[in-house]
Amino acid sequence: MTFKRQFLQSVAALSVGLFLSACGKAPPASVAAEPAASAPAAPAPTPAAKVITVGTDPTYAPFEFQNEKGEIVGFDIDVLSAAAHKAGLEVKFVSTPWEGAFTALAQGDRDVLVSAVTITDERKQTMDFSDPYFEASQLIAVPAKSAVTKLDDLKKKKIGVQTGTTGEEVVVKLQGKTSTNIKRFESTPLALAELAAGGVDAVVADNGVVIHYLANNPTAGFKSISDAGFAPEFYGVAVKKGNAELLAQINKGLADIKADGSYQKIHDNYFKSTK
Ligand code: ARG
């Protein structure tokens, strides 16, 4: 009898706890501690998981692009989804043009950016970055017949870049800010289309994107060239400056997916032939 009452009481306490957490309110610590300790690791976030709005410029295969159904997919999307899931966050990806993305983050229109964003000291002034989740570098795309073998050969050539990217920075450093030979495009595929059309002599962009483009557009007749001077770059998830709580959750999620092998699985899925 006493046992039964106690049992019923703890069931009641348990369901109150579950109900409260389902509502997104923290249950009293005494109630929360018990089910957490005895239950096996819950794979799914609670239905009331916080939804974060994620901005991404999905013109950047294989990192972020739109599939035939118009859904936003890619390596970055899988990485952030998995990391957020570990942190109990739900993600909503919103197509966000690269040029307005940093402003959208600063204004709070997006909670997070995942868009193959290279962590740079300059950007760190206006936003905070997660731990790096991918290493990249610049790569040059030129027509197969081009005599170009290194970045310096592009000093006087017309070069296509995506506006506001690290590719643009590299080219500005080479030719100077006011060079009329730098052709800026709102996306990297547009720059590559201009290369195919003969409007520029080369495109400088992130290696993963150039390699993916070459592999998927063999008829374009491009080759890629690396330059010893290209510095390693690291992609990070960006949050609004000062949003330490969200940043900590994302870093924890990233660490978790690295530790349990799911990051590696996602990586292998997109970059089978590379490291
Ligand atoms: N990694 C480069 C940068 O941060 C290019 C990123 C462009 N990303 C994109 N989704 N369009 O500047």
- Evaluate: CB of 116 within 6 angstroms of ligand 1: yes
Q: What is the pLDDT of residue 160?
A: 98
Asked if residue 8 has pLDDT above 90, the reply is: no
- Evaluate: CB of 57 within 6 angstroms of ligand 1: yes
Q: What is the pLDDT of residue 49?
A: 73
Domains of the chain and any CATH numbers: 50-135+234-274 (3.40.190.10), 138-225 (3.40.190.10)
Ligand 1 centroid to residue 115 C-alpha, Å: 6
User: Mutate which of 117, 120, 169 to test ligand 1's pocket (most atoms within 8 Å of Cβ)?
Assistant: 117
Mean pLDDT check: name the lowest of 28-42, 71-85, 259-273: 28-42
Q: Of residues 179 and 15, which shows the higher confidence score?
A: 179
Average pLDDT score over the chain = 88
Q: Of residues 162 and 4, which shows the higher confidence score?
A: 162
Burial of 83 (0-12, 13-18, 19+ CB in 10 A): buried
Mean pLDDT check: name the lowest of 45-54, 119-128, 196-205, 246-255: 45-54
Average pLDDT (109-136) is 98
Give the residue whose CA is nearest to atom 7 of ligand 1.
116
- How many C-beta neighbours within 10 Å does residue 120 have? 14
Ligand 1 closest atom vs CA 98: 11
- Evaluate: CB of 118 within 6 angstroms of ligand 1: yes
- Asked if residue 62 has a cis previous peptide bond (ω within 30° of 0), the answer is yes
Q: Parallel, antiparallel, or unpaired for β 182-185 and 159-162?
A: parallel
Expressed in percent and rounded to 5, the helix, strand and coil fractions of the chain are: 45, 20, 35
Give the residue whose CA is nearest to atom 12 of ligand 1.
165
- Evaluate: CB of 129 within 6 angstroms of ligand 1: no
- Evaluate: CB of 200 within 6 angstroms of ligand 1: no
pLDDT tens track for 98-107: 999 999 999 9
pLDDT tens track for 14-63: 333 333 333 333 444 334 444 444 555 656 555 567 999 999 999 999 99
pLDDT tens track for 182-223: 999 999 999 999 999 999 999 999 999 999 999 999 999 999
Ligand 1 centroid to residue 165 C-alpha, Å: 5
Question: Whose CA is closest to 229, among 171, 176, 190, 272?
Answer: 171
Asked if residue 2 has pLDDT above 90, the reply is: no
Ligand 1 centroid to residue 214 C-alpha, Å: 18
Q: What is the pLDDT of residue 47?
A: 56
* Band of residue 273 on the pLDDT scale cut at 50, 70, 90: low
Ligand 1 closest atom vs CA 56: 10
